[in-house]
Structure 1
Amino acid sequence: MTSSLRSLSGGGGGFTWPWQYYFPPFFTVQVNSDTRAKQLEAWCRLVLDYHRAHKSYVLDISEAQSSQLFSNQDINRRLPPEGIDLVLKTLESRGNVEWQNSEKSRCLVMWRSPREWGELIYKWAQASGHGNSVCTLYELHSGEDTTEEEFCGIELWVLQRSIQALAREGKAELIPGDSADGSDAGVKFFS
Protein backbone atom coordinates (compact mmCIF):
# COMPACT_ATOMS: atom_id res chain seq x y z
CA MET A 1 0.00 0.00 0.00
CA THR A 2 3.00 2.29 -0.38
CA SER A 3 1.45 4.44 -3.08
CA SER A 4 -2.10 4.78 -1.84
CA LEU A 5 -3.38 7.57 0.36
CA ARG A 6 -6.57 7.45 2.34
CA SER A 7 -8.73 10.36 3.39
CA LEU A 8 -9.83 10.80 6.93
CA SER A 9 -13.37 9.59 7.35
CA GLY A 10 -15.96 11.58 9.23
CA GLY A 11 -15.31 15.30 8.88
CA GLY A 12 -11.57 15.37 8.32
CA GLY A 13 -11.76 18.32 5.98
CA GLY A 14 -9.69 16.68 3.27
CA PHE A 15 -6.91 15.38 5.53
CA THR A 16 -5.09 12.48 3.88
CA TRP A 17 -3.32 9.85 5.93
CA PRO A 18 0.19 9.00 4.74
CA TRP A 19 0.90 5.49 3.52
CA GLN A 20 2.86 4.73 6.73
CA TYR A 21 -0.35 5.01 8.74
CA TYR A 22 -1.48 1.75 7.09
CA PHE A 23 1.87 -0.02 7.54
CA PRO A 24 1.73 -2.05 10.82
CA PRO A 25 5.45 -1.66 11.74
CA PHE A 26 4.93 2.12 11.79
CA PHE A 27 3.15 1.62 15.12
CA THR A 28 6.10 -0.21 16.70
CA VAL A 29 9.16 1.78 17.79
CA GLN A 30 11.93 0.48 15.57
CA VAL A 31 15.17 -0.85 17.06
CA ASN A 32 17.51 0.09 14.20
CA SER A 33 18.58 3.71 14.74
CA ASP A 34 18.40 4.69 11.03
CA THR A 35 14.94 3.15 10.66
CA ARG A 36 13.78 4.74 13.94
CA ALA A 37 15.02 8.16 12.77
CA LYS A 38 12.96 7.84 9.56
CA GLN A 39 9.98 6.56 11.55
CA LEU A 40 10.20 9.52 13.97
CA GLU A 41 10.43 11.95 11.07
CA ALA A 42 7.26 10.44 9.56
CA TRP A 43 5.46 10.53 12.93
CA CYS A 44 6.45 14.15 13.53
CA ARG A 45 5.19 15.15 10.08
CA LEU A 46 1.94 13.23 10.67
CA VAL A 47 1.30 14.90 14.06
CA LEU A 48 1.94 18.39 12.64
CA ASP A 49 -0.08 17.78 9.45
CA TYR A 50 -2.98 16.30 11.45
CA HIS A 51 -3.13 19.27 13.84
CA ARG A 52 -2.78 21.71 10.95
CA ALA A 53 -5.65 20.11 9.01
CA HIS A 54 -7.88 20.25 12.09
CA LYS A 55 -6.63 23.68 13.28
CA SER A 56 -5.98 21.99 16.60
CA TYR A 57 -3.33 23.29 18.98
CA VAL A 58 -3.67 21.10 22.08
CA LEU A 59 -2.84 17.45 22.62
CA ASP A 60 -4.05 15.74 25.79
CA ILE A 61 -1.71 12.87 26.61
CA SER A 62 -4.37 10.84 28.46
CA GLU A 63 -6.44 10.80 25.27
CA ALA A 64 -3.57 10.44 22.80
CA GLN A 65 -3.25 6.66 22.63
CA SER A 66 -6.93 6.15 21.91
CA SER A 67 -7.12 9.04 19.45
CA GLN A 68 -7.39 8.41 15.74
CA LEU A 69 -4.00 10.06 15.32
CA PHE A 70 -2.12 7.37 17.24
CA SER A 71 -4.52 4.47 16.75
CA ASN A 72 -5.46 2.99 13.37
CA GLN A 73 -8.56 0.85 13.84
CA ASP A 74 -8.41 -0.35 10.20
CA ILE A 75 -5.25 -2.35 10.91
CA ASN A 76 -5.84 -2.76 14.66
CA ARG A 77 -2.61 -0.98 15.62
CA ARG A 78 -1.78 1.77 18.07
CA LEU A 79 1.45 3.52 18.96
CA PRO A 80 2.42 2.55 22.53
CA PRO A 81 2.84 5.27 25.19
CA GLU A 82 6.64 5.14 24.95
CA GLY A 83 6.35 5.74 21.19
CA ILE A 84 4.04 8.72 21.71
CA ASP A 85 6.47 10.06 24.32
CA LEU A 86 9.38 9.69 21.87
CA VAL A 87 7.47 11.53 19.11
CA LEU A 88 6.51 14.37 21.47
CA LYS A 89 10.07 14.69 22.82
CA THR A 90 11.32 14.94 19.24
CA LEU A 91 8.73 17.59 18.42
CA GLU A 92 9.63 19.46 21.62
CA SER A 93 13.32 19.45 20.67
CA ARG A 94 12.35 21.02 17.33
CA GLY A 95 10.22 23.72 18.96
CA ASN A 96 6.89 22.32 17.76
CA VAL A 97 5.61 21.21 21.17
CA GLU A 98 5.42 23.16 24.40
CA TRP A 99 4.14 21.59 27.60
CA GLN A 100 1.28 23.34 29.40
CA ASN A 101 2.13 21.90 32.80
CA SER A 102 4.99 20.28 34.72
CA GLU A 103 3.22 16.89 34.67
CA LYS A 104 3.43 16.94 30.85
CA SER A 105 -0.18 15.86 30.55
CA ARG A 106 -1.12 18.46 27.90
CA CYS A 107 0.95 20.15 25.27
CA LEU A 108 0.58 22.88 22.71
CA VAL A 109 1.26 21.71 19.17
CA MET A 110 2.64 24.31 16.81
CA TRP A 111 2.72 23.13 13.21
CA ARG A 112 4.30 26.49 12.41
CA SER A 113 6.62 28.30 14.76
CA PRO A 114 5.55 31.76 15.98
CA ARG A 115 8.27 33.19 13.74
CA GLU A 116 6.84 31.38 10.68
CA TRP A 117 3.31 32.59 11.53
CA GLY A 118 4.72 36.08 12.00
CA GLU A 119 6.27 36.01 8.53
CA LEU A 120 2.93 34.98 6.98
CA ILE A 121 1.14 37.76 8.83
CA TYR A 122 3.81 40.31 7.91
CA LYS A 123 3.62 39.37 4.21
CA TRP A 124 -0.16 39.79 4.35
CA ALA A 125 0.20 43.19 6.08
CA GLN A 126 2.62 44.43 3.44
CA ALA A 127 0.60 43.06 0.50
CA SER A 128 -2.72 44.39 1.83
CA GLY A 129 -1.49 47.93 2.53
CA HIS A 130 -1.30 47.61 6.32
CA GLY A 131 2.36 48.67 6.51
CA ASN A 132 2.81 51.55 8.96
CA SER A 133 -0.75 51.17 10.20
CA VAL A 134 -2.39 49.59 13.23
CA CYS A 135 -4.68 46.53 13.33
CA THR A 136 -6.19 44.84 16.34
CA LEU A 137 -5.46 41.21 17.01
CA TYR A 138 -9.19 40.63 16.60
CA GLU A 139 -8.99 42.01 13.04
CA LEU A 140 -6.14 39.63 12.26
CA HIS A 141 -7.95 36.72 13.89
CA SER A 142 -11.50 37.32 12.65
CA GLY A 143 -11.54 40.33 10.33
CA GLU A 144 -13.11 40.43 6.88
CA ASP A 145 -9.71 41.15 5.33
CA THR A 146 -8.19 37.92 6.64
CA THR A 147 -10.90 35.31 5.97
CA GLU A 148 -8.89 33.73 3.15
CA GLU A 149 -5.59 33.77 5.05
CA GLU A 150 -4.16 30.70 6.72
CA PHE A 151 -3.80 32.61 10.00
CA CYS A 152 -7.52 33.46 10.13
CA GLY A 153 -8.93 31.87 13.29
CA ILE A 154 -5.50 31.18 14.74
CA GLU A 155 -5.39 30.72 18.51
CA LEU A 156 -4.87 34.07 20.24
CA TRP A 157 -1.77 32.88 22.11
CA VAL A 158 -0.14 31.85 18.81
CA LEU A 159 -1.07 35.18 17.25
CA GLN A 160 0.42 37.10 20.19
CA ARG A 161 3.65 35.10 20.05
CA SER A 162 3.82 35.65 16.30
CA ILE A 163 3.58 39.41 16.72
CA GLN A 164 6.20 39.26 19.49
CA ALA A 165 8.51 37.41 17.06
CA LEU A 166 7.95 40.18 14.50
CA ALA A 167 8.64 42.80 17.17
CA ARG A 168 11.99 41.16 17.99
CA GLU A 169 12.88 41.50 14.30
CA GLY A 170 11.80 45.16 14.22
CA LYS A 171 8.92 44.47 11.82
CA ALA A 172 6.04 45.21 14.19
CA GLU A 173 5.11 46.58 17.58
CA LEU A 174 2.54 44.99 19.90
CA ILE A 175 0.30 47.62 21.51
CA PRO A 176 -1.34 46.33 24.72
CA GLY A 177 -5.12 46.42 25.01
CA ASP A 178 -7.54 46.44 27.94
CA SER A 179 -9.45 43.17 27.45
CA ALA A 180 -8.67 40.13 29.59
CA ASP A 181 -8.05 37.92 26.56
CA GLY A 182 -5.90 40.51 24.75
CA SER A 183 -7.99 40.49 21.58
CA ASP A 184 -8.23 44.29 21.59
CA ALA A 185 -4.44 44.64 21.61
CA GLY A 186 -3.08 46.34 18.53
CA VAL A 187 -0.17 45.69 16.25
CA LYS A 188 1.63 48.26 14.17
CA PHE A 189 3.42 46.84 11.15
CA PHE A 190 6.54 48.61 9.95
CA SER A 191 7.37 48.80 6.26
Structure 2
Amino acid sequence: MSVAAHTTPSGYLLPSIHSAPPFFTKQINPTTRSIADDHWARIILGYARHRRLFTLRVEDAETSGNDWDEIFRNERINRRLLPDHLASLISSMVTNNLAVYEPPKQTRSVLLYWRRPEEWADVLHSWVASTGQMNTIMTFYEITDPPVESPLSSLPIVILRKAIDVLSKSGRAQIIAIADGEGVRFFPGGSKI
Protein backbone atom coordinates (compact mmCIF):
# COMPACT_ATOMS: atom_id res chain seq x y z
CA MET A 1 0.00 0.00 0.00
CA SER A 2 1.32 3.45 -0.83
CA VAL A 3 1.57 6.14 1.79
CA ALA A 4 -0.85 8.86 0.71
CA ALA A 5 -3.02 11.60 2.12
CA HIS A 6 -6.58 10.53 2.88
CA THR A 7 -9.84 12.42 3.36
CA THR A 8 -12.03 11.21 6.24
CA PRO A 9 -15.81 10.78 5.88
CA SER A 10 -16.26 14.12 7.70
CA GLY A 11 -14.07 15.83 5.08
CA TYR A 12 -10.84 16.23 7.05
CA LEU A 13 -7.66 15.71 5.01
CA LEU A 14 -5.21 13.47 6.86
CA PRO A 15 -1.56 13.84 5.83
CA SER A 16 0.31 10.96 4.25
CA ILE A 17 2.14 10.13 7.50
CA HIS A 18 -1.21 8.89 8.84
CA SER A 19 -0.95 6.02 6.34
CA ALA A 20 2.46 4.88 7.64
CA PRO A 21 2.08 1.95 10.09
CA PRO A 22 4.97 3.09 12.38
CA PHE A 23 3.12 6.38 13.01
CA PHE A 24 0.67 4.48 15.23
CA THR A 25 3.48 3.07 17.38
CA LYS A 26 5.03 5.04 20.23
CA GLN A 27 8.58 5.62 19.02
CA ILE A 28 11.54 4.76 21.26
CA ASN A 29 14.07 7.18 19.76
CA PRO A 30 13.52 10.61 21.41
CA THR A 31 14.10 12.57 18.19
CA THR A 32 11.76 10.37 16.16
CA ARG A 33 9.17 10.47 18.96
CA SER A 34 9.32 14.29 19.10
CA ILE A 35 8.73 14.52 15.34
CA ALA A 36 5.86 12.01 15.47
CA ASP A 37 4.34 13.79 18.50
CA ASP A 38 4.42 17.09 16.60
CA HIS A 39 2.64 15.47 13.65
CA TRP A 40 0.04 13.91 15.97
CA ALA A 41 -0.53 17.26 17.72
CA ARG A 42 -1.12 19.00 14.37
CA ILE A 43 -3.53 16.26 13.28
CA ILE A 44 -5.41 16.29 16.60
CA LEU A 45 -5.72 20.08 16.73
CA GLY A 46 -6.62 20.38 13.04
CA TYR A 47 -9.25 17.68 13.34
CA ALA A 48 -10.64 19.18 16.55
CA ARG A 49 -10.98 22.54 14.81
CA HIS A 50 -12.59 20.88 11.77
CA ARG A 51 -15.16 19.09 13.96
CA ARG A 52 -15.33 21.78 16.71
CA LEU A 53 -14.22 19.30 19.35
CA PHE A 54 -12.88 20.74 22.59
CA THR A 55 -12.28 17.68 24.78
CA LEU A 56 -9.93 14.76 24.29
CA ARG A 57 -9.81 11.81 26.69
CA VAL A 58 -7.53 8.78 26.85
CA GLU A 59 -10.74 6.72 26.66
CA ASP A 60 -11.24 8.04 23.12
CA ALA A 61 -8.49 5.62 22.02
CA GLU A 62 -9.97 2.77 24.05
CA THR A 63 -13.48 2.75 22.61
CA SER A 64 -14.74 2.77 19.07
CA GLY A 65 -17.65 4.75 17.69
CA ASN A 66 -16.60 8.09 19.16
CA ASP A 67 -15.81 11.46 17.56
CA TRP A 68 -12.11 10.64 17.24
CA ASP A 69 -12.32 7.31 15.38
CA GLU A 70 -11.53 8.93 12.01
CA ILE A 71 -8.04 9.85 13.14
CA PHE A 72 -7.24 7.32 15.88
CA ARG A 73 -8.02 4.35 13.64
CA ASN A 74 -6.78 3.65 10.15
CA GLU A 75 -8.61 0.58 8.87
CA ARG A 76 -6.80 0.80 5.50
CA ILE A 77 -3.55 -0.24 7.22
CA ASN A 78 -5.19 -2.05 10.17
CA ARG A 79 -3.72 0.30 12.81
CA ARG A 80 -5.08 2.22 15.75
CA LEU A 81 -3.66 4.56 18.38
CA LEU A 82 -3.33 2.77 21.71
CA PRO A 83 -4.47 4.45 24.95
CA ASP A 84 -0.98 4.64 26.50
CA HIS A 85 0.30 6.31 23.32
CA LEU A 86 -2.55 8.83 23.44
CA ALA A 87 -1.82 9.49 27.13
CA SER A 88 1.78 10.27 26.16
CA LEU A 89 0.61 12.56 23.34
CA ILE A 90 -1.77 14.36 25.71
CA SER A 91 1.08 14.92 28.17
CA SER A 92 3.26 16.32 25.38
CA MET A 93 0.46 18.64 24.22
CA VAL A 94 -0.04 19.97 27.77
CA THR A 95 3.72 20.53 28.13
CA ASN A 96 3.67 22.52 24.85
CA ASN A 97 0.60 24.60 25.90
CA LEU A 98 -1.57 23.06 23.19
CA ALA A 99 -3.97 21.64 25.77
CA VAL A 100 -4.79 21.89 29.46
CA TYR A 101 -5.89 19.14 31.82
CA GLU A 102 -9.60 19.52 32.55
CA PRO A 103 -10.64 18.90 35.18
CA PRO A 104 -7.33 19.84 36.80
CA LYS A 105 -5.35 17.36 38.93
CA GLN A 106 -5.87 14.40 36.58
CA THR A 107 -4.08 13.32 33.39
CA ARG A 108 -6.70 11.52 31.30
CA SER A 109 -8.77 14.41 29.88
CA VAL A 110 -7.81 17.73 28.30
CA LEU A 111 -9.31 20.80 26.74
CA LEU A 112 -7.67 21.38 23.38
CA TYR A 113 -6.31 24.76 22.33
CA TRP A 114 -6.98 24.62 18.60
CA ARG A 115 -7.19 28.35 19.23
CA ARG A 116 -5.08 29.74 22.04
CA PRO A 117 -6.90 31.80 24.71
CA GLU A 118 -5.45 34.98 23.14
CA GLU A 119 -6.99 34.01 19.80
CA TRP A 120 -10.33 33.24 21.47
CA ALA A 121 -10.13 36.67 23.14
CA ASP A 122 -9.87 38.34 19.73
CA VAL A 123 -12.72 36.21 18.33
CA LEU A 124 -14.86 37.05 21.38
CA HIS A 125 -14.17 40.78 21.23
CA SER A 126 -14.82 40.92 17.48
CA TRP A 127 -18.08 39.00 17.89
CA VAL A 128 -19.29 41.31 20.68
CA ALA A 129 -18.45 44.34 18.51
CA SER A 130 -20.17 42.87 15.44
CA THR A 131 -23.35 42.17 17.40
CA GLY A 132 -23.47 45.70 18.86
CA GLN A 133 -23.15 44.57 22.47
CA MET A 134 -20.25 46.72 23.64
CA ASN A 135 -20.79 48.25 27.09
CA THR A 136 -23.64 45.85 27.89
CA ILE A 137 -23.44 43.10 30.48
CA MET A 138 -23.65 39.60 29.02
CA THR A 139 -23.86 36.27 30.80
CA PHE A 140 -21.51 33.44 29.89
CA TYR A 141 -24.58 31.54 28.68
CA GLU A 142 -25.49 34.34 26.25
CA ILE A 143 -21.98 34.14 24.82
CA THR A 144 -21.69 30.36 24.49
CA ASP A 145 -25.31 29.68 23.53
CA PRO A 146 -26.43 32.67 21.42
CA PRO A 147 -29.73 32.59 19.50
CA VAL A 148 -27.79 32.63 16.22
CA GLU A 149 -24.84 30.23 15.89
CA SER A 150 -21.52 32.02 16.33
CA PRO A 151 -17.83 31.09 16.48
CA LEU A 152 -18.31 30.97 20.27
CA SER A 153 -21.23 28.53 20.29
CA SER A 154 -20.57 25.66 22.74
CA LEU A 155 -17.21 27.14 23.80
CA PRO A 156 -16.28 25.53 27.14
CA ILE A 157 -16.58 27.97 30.05
CA VAL A 158 -12.97 27.26 31.08
CA ILE A 159 -11.71 28.55 27.70
CA LEU A 160 -14.19 31.46 27.75
CA ARG A 161 -12.88 32.53 31.17
CA LYS A 162 -9.30 32.45 29.89
CA ALA A 163 -10.29 34.60 26.90
CA ILE A 164 -12.09 37.06 29.17
CA ASP A 165 -9.00 37.19 31.42
CA VAL A 166 -6.92 38.16 28.38
CA LEU A 167 -9.42 40.90 27.49
CA SER A 168 -9.56 42.11 31.11
CA LYS A 169 -5.78 42.51 31.24
CA SER A 170 -5.92 44.69 28.13
CA GLY A 171 -8.86 46.79 29.39
CA ARG A 172 -11.35 45.36 26.89
CA ALA A 173 -13.56 43.44 29.36
CA GLN A 174 -14.62 43.37 32.99
CA ILE A 175 -16.18 40.54 35.02
CA ILE A 176 -19.28 41.77 36.87
CA ALA A 177 -21.29 40.05 39.61
CA ILE A 178 -24.93 39.66 38.60
CA ALA A 179 -27.94 38.19 40.38
CA ASP A 180 -27.48 34.64 39.12
CA GLY A 181 -23.70 34.44 38.90
CA GLU A 182 -21.24 36.34 36.77
CA GLY A 183 -21.46 38.45 33.69
CA VAL A 184 -18.99 40.35 31.60
CA ARG A 185 -18.99 43.82 30.10
CA PHE A 186 -16.91 44.49 27.00
CA PHE A 187 -15.28 47.78 26.05
CA PRO A 188 -14.23 48.95 22.59
CA GLY A 189 -10.80 50.29 23.57
CA GLY A 190 -7.90 48.95 25.47
CA SER A 191 -4.55 47.79 24.27
CA LYS A 192 -4.72 44.83 21.93
CA ILE A 193 -2.64 41.82 22.97
What is the 5 A alignment of 1:137-152?
Answer: 137-144=140-147, 147=149, 149-152=150-153
Once residues 176 and 87 of structure 1 are traced to their aligned partners in structure 2, the CA distance between those partners, rounded to angstroms, is: 39
1:87 corresponds to: 89
RMSD: 2.6
Is structure 2 residue 35 aligned with structure 1 residue 53? no
1:186 corresponds to: 184
What is the 5 A alignment of 1:122-141?
Answer: 122-141=125-144
Once residues 131 and 114 of structure 1 are traced to their aligned partners in structure 2, the CA distance between those partners, rounded to angstroms, is: 20
- Structure 1: runs of 5+ lacking an equivalent: none
- Structure 2: runs of 5+ lacking an equivalent: none
Structure 1 residues 118 and 75, CA, compared in 2 at 3 Å: closer, same or farther?
A: same
Aligned residues: 182
1:158 corresponds to: 159
Matched residue SS, 1:135:
strand
TM-score calculated relative to the size of structure 2: 0.77
Structure 1 residues 78 and 121, CA, compared in 2 at 3 Å: closer, same or farther?
A: same
Further displaced range: 26-35 or 160-169: 26-35
Structure 1 residues 176 and 55, CA, compared in 2 at 3 Å: closer, same or farther?
A: farther
Matched residue SS, 1:102:
coil
Once residues 179 and 133 of structure 1 are traced to their aligned partners in structure 2, the CA distance between those partners, rounded to angstroms, is: 16
Matched residue SS, 1:166:
helix
Structure 1 residues 66 and 19, CA, compared in 2 at 3 Å: closer, same or farther?
A: farther
Once residues 3 and 136 of structure 2 are traced to their aligned partners in structure 1, the CA distance between those partners, rounded to angstroms, is: 50
